[in-house]
Amino acid sequence: MTEVLPDWDILDRRLLADRSPFARVYDEDVRLPDGTVISQWLRVELPAFIIVFTVLEDGSVPFVRQYRQGARTWTLELPAGHIEDGEEMLTAAQRELREEAGIAADEWQYLGKYIMDANRDCGWCHAYLARGSRRIIENPDSGDVGDFSLHWLPLDDVRRRWLAGEFISAPTSLAIGLALAQL
């Protein structure tokens, strides 16, 4: 059996929109192993981000509530944020949990990396489960744009809402599923 070529050749790549550091959009012309050429394959490069699930000793899970322009609605999401230039992934996770929820944690378990759109990129999500959490800042200030509030949901409620599809942000529901399976 002939070995299939491992990937598609990128023949050309053109920057269509540069909103660095938040987004870069490209057209790519690609050649498949069978010779087929596809032009203008849109690629959307968004920054890698981390997302964190944690439970406090009292059984509550921190969520942030925000208006989200992409979703055109308000969401409840796990603490999350971009990995900054040169920043370690774990450092980013610890920073976001502190900035958004005012929490520090003793143990950090990596739950994997996930591409948001396998066709177009749209960014990699790195999920964490933090254990041994405690509040270190009473009223954290995330510095994010727009209206932003912190909410504490009991673990049972998180599971019920997750199963009911109430957490409409994909990275949040993905990370909740992975974390609940570890608890």
Contacts to a second copy by CB under 8 A: 4, 6-8, 16-17, 19, 22-23, 25, 27-28, 30, 32-33, 36, 38, 40-44, 46, 67-75, 77, 110-123, 125, 145-147, 162-171, 173-174, 176-178, 180-182
How far apart CA 49 and CA 82 sit, in angstroms, is: 4
Nearer to a second copy among residue 32 and residue 136 (C-beta) = 32
Closest by Cα among 72, 64, 13, 67 to 43: 13
- Neighbouring CB atoms inside 10 A of 93's CB total 26
Shortest reach from residue 84's CB to a second copy, in Å: 16
Helices 155-163 and 170-180, axial angle in degrees (round to 10)? 120
With respect to a second copy, which residue has the nearer C-beta, 25 or 56?
25
Task: CB nearer to a second copy: give 68 or 135.
Answer: 68
For residue 75, the cross-strand partners are 66
**Smallest gap, in angstroms, from Cβ of residue 81 to a second copy?**
11
Question: Contact at 8 Å (CB) between 74 and 66?
Answer: yes
Q: Shortest gap between Cβ of 133 and a second copy (angstroms)? A: 21
Secondary structure letter of residue 161 according to DSSP:
H
Task: Tell the smallest beta-carbon distance from residue 35 to a second copy (Å).
Answer: 12
